[in-house]
């Protein structure tokens, strides 16, 4: 079941959050949307649009969440499964420049107060993990290729190693993403999920399949030890909701990127 996300408007921008995760006092988190309250596009990625506008949007987002702009931390995502451990020296990587972003990672974990982690998407699921016992968080770009490569399991395993976290304590949230009915793939992609996640594939005409990315995320989270009742997933479809989200499947190369951000309050 998809969770109903609540929305707020802060500092002129529209933010969504997860109800269960919102109850954690140490955690600040949000999913951004395509448009600010004044109707302007709110792209946050530096590689798809005017970088000056994206930097201004990042600054506005940090103000809204109460974090210093220089603590905004991000990766140069590659649709992989590597996990970056964000210590104090890594906080703020990629805040102002693509060249300074953490290269080749699609997940980050941290327990550093003041760190604000960000992942970007325009259809792919983005997943947040929060450990209330260790005051630690993980965030990952859990798209099709990353899921096939094990990004969810790798992120959970990294939190277990680094923070001695217990997955059964985690609360998790998956941001809006392309829904199954809007995500048709060919045989080559489907075969990456056919053995482990056959329930997430539905055959269509011409030898193609509908792939339920949210279902794969949920299955991999539970396989990693999370309790099903602790997993929230947005039911909003990025491809269908042009009024709310960027979508690569809908708009192609011109699509901007929204973000899932999470930080540990000081």
pLDDT digits (tens, 9 = 90+) for 25-52: 999 999 999 999 899 999 999 998 777 8
Q: Is the pLDDT reported for residue 156 higher than 80?
A: yes
Q: Is the pLDDT reported for residue 59 higher than 70?
A: yes
Q: Is the pLDDT reported for residue 6 higher than 80?
A: no
Q: 113 in a domain, yes or no? A: yes
Q: 13 in a domain, yes or no? A: yes
Provide the percentage of residues in the chain whose pLDDT is more than 70.
98
Q: 188 in a domain, yes or no? A: no
- Span 203-229, mean pLDDT? 97
> Which two structure tokens, joined as six digits, stand for 239?
């491809």
pLDDT tens by residue, 81-98: 999 999 999 999 999 999
Q: 217 in a domain, yes or no? A: no
Q: How much is the pLDDT for 1?
A: 45
pLDDT band at 2 (very low <50, low <70, confident <90, very high): low
Average pLDDT, the chain: 95
Q: 198 in a domain, yes or no? A: no
Which domain range does residue 55 map to? 6-179+223-264
Domain count of the fold of the chain: 1
Q: Please give the model's pTM, rounded to 2 decimal places.
A: 0.95
Q: How much is the pLDDT for 41?
A: 94
Q: How much is the pLDDT for 166?
A: 98
231: domain CATH number is: 3.60.140.10
- Span 100-127, mean pLDDT? 98
Q: 196 in a domain, yes or no? A: no
């Amino acid at each position: 079941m998809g969770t109903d996300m609540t929305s707020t408007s802060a500092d002129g921008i529209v933010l969504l959050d997860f109800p269960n995760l919102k109850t954690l006092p140490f955690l600040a988190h949000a999913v951004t949307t395509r448009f600010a309250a004044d109707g302007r596009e709110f792209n946050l990625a530096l590689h798809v649009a005017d970088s000056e506008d994206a930097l201004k949007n990042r600054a506005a987002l940090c103000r809204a969440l109460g974090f210093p702009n220089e603590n905004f931390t991000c990766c140069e995502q590659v649709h992989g499964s590597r996990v970056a451990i964000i210590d104090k020296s890594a906080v703020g990587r990629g805040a102002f420049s693509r060249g300074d972003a953490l290269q080749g990672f699609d997940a980050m974990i941290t327990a550093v107060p003041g760190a604000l982690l960000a992942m970007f998407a325009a259809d792919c699921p983005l997943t947040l993990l929060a450990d209330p016992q260790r005051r630690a968080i993980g965030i990952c770009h859990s798209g099709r290729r990353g899921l096939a490569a094990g990004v969810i399991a790798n992120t959970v395993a990294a939190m277990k190693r680094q923070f001695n976290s217990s997955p059964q304590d985690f609360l998790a949230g998956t941001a809006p993403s392309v829904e199954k009915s809007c995500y048709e793939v060919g045989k080559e992609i489907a075969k990456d999920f056919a053995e482990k996640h056959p329930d997430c594939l539905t055959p269509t005409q011409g030898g193609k399949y509908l792939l339920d990315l949210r279902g794969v995320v949920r299955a991999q989270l539970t396989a990693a030890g999370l309790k099903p009742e602790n997993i929230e997933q947005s039911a909003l479809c990025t491809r269908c909701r042009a009024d709310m989200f960027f979508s690569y499947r809908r708009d192609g190369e011109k699509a901007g990127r929204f973000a899932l951000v999470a930080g540990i309050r000081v």
